[in-house]
Structure 1
Amino acid sequence: MSDLRELSVVRWRKYGKDRLYVTAPDERRMGWCDLATGVVTVDDDADRAAVEAAVAGWRAAVPEPAQQASPAPSTNAGVTVITESSVAAQEPVWNDLAERRAGQAAREQAIALKHAAPVRTFVARVLRVHTDERAWRIGADGEEMVAARLARLVKKDARWRALHAVPVGVNGSDIDHVVIGPGGVFTLNAKHHPGAKIWVAGTTFMVNGQKQPYLRNSRHEAARASRLLTAAAGVPVEAVGVVVPVGAADITIKKAPEGAHVVYRRAIGKWLERRPEVLDLEAIDRVFEAARRSTTWLG
């Protein structure tokens, strides 16, 4: 049986269907579950136990939309008695985002699209046709390459922390990388454009002559992170947005970008390392502990 920790479980909702696809580490499809009926379908009966266990694990980890109200604390002669169990019941369940892999959200989308139309995906890959599946896959590759650079920084200076594929809100949005360290808090948006020419000036960001909203989006992403982390950590947090181009053949910064920074992938570690120190270790730990909780990012 495959190690359940290595299996990928992806939810796919489209055309009135709601399914979970279970994939092996080598991207081999093992099976899927119809969430409406609970029926599990497998390609190989030998995988059934692993697929059913992976589905059960997903159900246990993902809370249902409607949560039952926490039981009221007991009272005795007008005195409220708060027990350990009642406190635990009132604390929201959260997932540890430190366990998420770089590019996880984008990779899951690519796999779901591949499983939904395997033949069409195969033909598109052979013909090098630009599809949504390809865009998600290339995006995931870019995020993984940025994460590799961040890992070097963390290894060099343990005060730095990095979270990847941080889910925000309930509409499927995510922040590619949230980096916290002595230089502050940063939201990194990896943009993988192999062989492209990038031109930046003020509020304009162009890829092969086409304007892209990357600077605006990065600014909004950082502002949202600032608000959510401030509320969760209980201290003022000002996140800085950074667009990280990956794979570009040429990058020209005609004028300093406004609203966000633009730092090429190969330079991101050094750039972060050179930021003036604004957070001590206690503040870094406090913000990181808030950032790693999935419930922090629901607002």
Structure 2
Amino acid sequence: MPKAVRYDRFGGIDVLRVEEVERPVPGDGEVLVRVKAAGINPSEAAIRTGAVAQIFPSTFPSGQGSDLAGIVEEVGAGVTGFSIGDEVIGFNQKRASQAELTLVEAGDLTHKPENVSWEVAGSLYVIGVTARGAVNSVTLKEGETVVISGAAGGVGSLAVQLARRTGATVIGLASESNHEWLKGHGVIPVAYGDGVADRIKAAAPDGVDAFIDTHGGGYVELALALGVAPDRIDTIADFASAAKYGVKTDGGTAAGPGAAVLAELAGLIADGHLEVPIANVYPLTQVREAYTELERRHTHGKIVLRP
């Protein structure tokens, strides 16, 4: 029997378990995928604790995860464009990607380019659509300056690269250990912490036009203090401040259809125009250890599970 991550109640990392489940059977329009890699995300931890239960209600026992890449195992009636053995990238709308086998709507899949690794492909959806949506939402133009907080994290590391592709000057807030990586991708690194406003002003003497907050913890207020207009600020982490000040929380909603975004980003990665840093890879059975590392919030890039 295939194995999958499950939990029976809201709680901390200790509620997670890996157990045997019934083999899924694809229905009309569904594809059964043998998962080769599944990225993990902070949003999944928030869902599991119940912190966002009003937005993302759970039915127990619950699975976990959206990101996935794998090989088509079976196809349901009415599926076109995918065949058994195809290598695919996709997302699971029922939060069940952290498993050996998972069912995916055919419309939520795209073909994986041969030279994109399983780890990168399997961690692309959440960060990809979120980063693309955040960059789209602040409507960057060539010659403008944007600041991105959490610039070396999962979403941030993609957002800085996508922002650079608009022709904007990008200032990335990150710990000094990640500054060389940022410089190597055409980003001006600035250390976060006390005095960050002065350091941003020194790096952007003509002012800041837009701000993307991927971390939370006061960056919306910082953006406003720097003179950025509310409609040029997007946060994916501080919804209370967004409601208070009227800034954007578009994230993935401004990205466009998920499968199309996956295809676009996978193509950029395959052509060497985009990089997804992989921080660590864990076997599925070590899901608790993977989320322990994730919740420290100091990783550069993505943490991935390999069933």
TM-score of the two chains, using structure 1 as the length reference: 0.28
Q: Comparing both structures, which one devotes a greater share of its residues to helix?
A: 1
Structure number with the bigger relative contact order (C-alpha 8 A, sep ≥ 6) is 2
**Which one has a larger percent strand, Structure 1 or Structure 2?**
1
Q: Which has the larger radius of gyration?
A: 1
